[in-house]
Structure 1
Amino acid sequence: MLEGQPCFGDIVGDLVELLRGRTLVAHNVGFDYSFLTAEAEMVDAVLPIDTAMCTVELTRRLELGTENLRLETLAAHWGITQLKPHDALDDAMVLAQILKPVLVRARERKVWLPVRPLSRREWPNGQVTHEELRPLKMMAARLPCPYVNPGRFVEGRPLVQGMRVALAAEVERTHEELVERIVHAGLSYTDNVDSETSLIICNETRPEQGKGFQARELGVPFITDTDFLSRLDAVVGGSTIEEFTDVTLAGDQFALF
């Protein structure tokens, strides 16, 4: 099959120009990315891949109801014919056709695209790992929220910017997507559950362990990830910290309230 075909070093220059300024998209992109970077290193080349998107992760977010997320399953779901399953060129062409309706569905459902910046030479899988997610959560938890915490979420009322939102393990959406959406909406992500927590995203009604259990013990309101995402378009603007600041000088300091 490869007899008479050019070696990687023969076409790497064209590949570099093709990739420059673009996002690498693949089904389980970590697998493809690791092979590409390994081949590039063997010929002393650097591929200008700054961002990547895994279509396995994207289709998982769409909740298509398919038996699995294999390429052949998704092709059948969207009515796309595979001529040579597991052939590199045919798989790429099939994925390109799948991507069109997938992006349309993502836009209709307002699902965020899992486009990830690449800052490492090796990417073992198409998802953010647990060890990488931990500092992501820590960073999000430390981000200063410009809005005052308005208190507990009340069913029947909208979310309000500044609300402190915790995440339980019992969710269907990925934590990285939920953290992104929390911060982008002007809500405050918290990695702890305490009396100041406004709500917790948890799909279990009576969890027996973890943050869900802590929230239940403290009486923190529960909301499912699906319900939470559906409310983000109607988030009410919060009160900024400045609105609660009295700029009257009190000695050498500003006085709050």
Structure 2
Amino acid sequence: MLEDHTAPAARLPVQQTSPQPDPRLVPGGPAAAPPAEAAWPESYPEGYAVVDVETTGLAPGDRIVSAAVYRLTARGEVEDHWYTLVNPERDPGPTWLHGLTAEMLADAPVFAEVAGEFAARLAGRVLVAHNAVFDWTMIAREYARASRTAPVEQRLCTILLAKALGLPLPNHKLESLAAYFGVEQRRAHHALDDARVLAEAFRPSLHRAARQRLPLPLLVCRPITEWSDAPPSGGGRTARWGGWRQPKRRPACPYPNPGRFEAGGRLRQGMRVAFSGDTSVDRELLEDQAFEAGLHVASSVSRLTSLLVTNYPEAATGKVTRARELGTPILDEAAFTQLLRDVAPADPGPAGRGAAAAPPVREV
């Protein structure tokens, strides 16, 4: 089940999707590597682990069914790659997406059996993934289940990097990033091929960032130290479809909306808070903390939104764009987390009486 290619490799060639060379990849093109004599940014990491995992679903209880890692040098050169199937010890989820059936995974190793080799591939490197918060969260949960900690301190999301570079993409799907750099996708949603595609697209992205002296969007990876697969108490129900669970839904906030956040002021119970982009803390955990403090966690930005939390206020995401159109205040994660420590109680005025007295109810 394990596929290991450890022989040193030359730079992974960029594959063209048409007979004509892509002008972005020829010498002097916008994505071309800087000259050999150009100084490489000293702040850039010493190595990267480009990762892709396929899973049984998106919820906290879902499992990894396959994983792949391409190890790259400081300048994005491929060192080796590794791939494994993983027995999720449950149904495989959306087989129509990743193509892995229960029969195919029956004899695969469980995660605890590959955790050591996986860790060796990640150690001392920045984890790179497309929508990195998802891959990192799934990996961290698997290590927590195995009573271990993944040796990853930082991650880099290629969606955030593409946005920071201002790449003219129609959207931020992996296929769009691949097409921009002329990389051929052979098997979408196959962990090994997705990791290969991302490795090929990451190198010119990295060199373009270096040429522009652009700080890389590195985020801290905080490991999960405890885990339990036991169902929560309280009789809560989770929507299911063949093991494919819907994202978490929370009950309505019991407090009235006091309006927009004011710079220099405090957060107040009832404020509507939206989140955009990758966060150093698991997004669901951050949203839980906001909800438990009495804030309304919103899935979109509207005229009623009190503030938007994002680490990339210049990114052209839908939420950031909408917030700027409406004049919605924007805070980064660090500032929001600091304010979350001292949330003011709900306004006890006429609209808030009764509702303000009830503590927020956490969904179970």
TM-score (norm 2): 0.36
TM-score (norm 1): 0.49
